[in-house]
Chains A and B, each alone.
Chain A
């Protein structure tokens, strides 16, 4: 199959770019003709530390086909323990890092292309055909976003509930289909915009580069509803767009 792949990200307003704690993989692709393709987005929880690192480890490992969570947890711990930390950073590390995670694999079957997605937490995947939103996964409506989603932890003993909560979805692709993988703030905005105005797919399809994404985020973060809530919550934003050019 032939694919087209692009990404964009923006840190939370008021934060420095190096404080961006989402992650995505791959960063770019070397060929557009593939038999199988994997991509992922993760969103490190702001209330935990070294969560950006945890998000990156999860995404990179998924794309590289590493599936041992135990190994990834070890990797995180080794990296954060390699430096001397003040008392508060040490105590914060005890609770581990947490991240929402959504991933997608496309693979060539006999007569079609199959997609498989997994998700934990509130990073989302959207399957689009033409101007239609076919699937919204794992969250269907913008009102379902909240401040305490179930997330993947870097500590094995905190993961029982999260692992039981991993959601899986799969389907078939057609040529021209588009998949968007996004972290929670832009997913929330997307679903709300889709519900209230019906033009969210069109607006995101018009985002063709980093500059467009920054412009959209700036505008939507600044607009407020009757309750004083921003249409796009002020948080890190990640957008991964994968299009099937031909099967």
Chain B
């Protein structure tokens, strides 16, 4: 054995002694810049505010109302998103049909569209007149006005969140073996039964992930809400608009406190997502 070692040329021995440290140093160093930025942002926010500021902000009735509306609207938007994302994600994942590429592109539009444009488009949709008919008036006659009311908040959040939920569900269904559905059909299932009894139970984690992502996206939504629902205190104000409103009246301490509250809510949602360990890249 020792005789073999002595025959190894010296330049090959040097290769064996090469360390991986520079590789990890460079990769880790580049990665650390982004992590450091995020941590510094949070630390700066934390240093800026105090517990008393935080408490003072949270006891304000308008902020409490905003918190209630945020939790309610995000939850409704997330449930609606899942309701649409399951069938749409399934169809996009499983079938090749005419104009599928177009539907796929349309689903992505809310993701790439500037938020204000989305809000403006919603506003135009509800107020455009087709002859004498107008969607907002029609809904108003039915006793369900949308614009500048809480339904507008939900719709604005849903418009963006749903796109992310569809993407998540599509990846989920991509990962489920379609053969299980085929076998279920030979055992006596209709397509619907095969979907409900075999595929949907396998998609459970993806559904939780889609709901969580939709909820988190709804929480961060601001532009479309501002344009379509307005930022009326105690009526259409959610936490993202609270930050804007507090800033606009010079209440920086309150704005930072509410921002930190949103950070905490986002972290809880992201932790749930990680704990579920879905492994989905959305």
Chain A bound to chain B = no
Q: Which A residues contact B (CB, under 8 angstroms)?
A: none
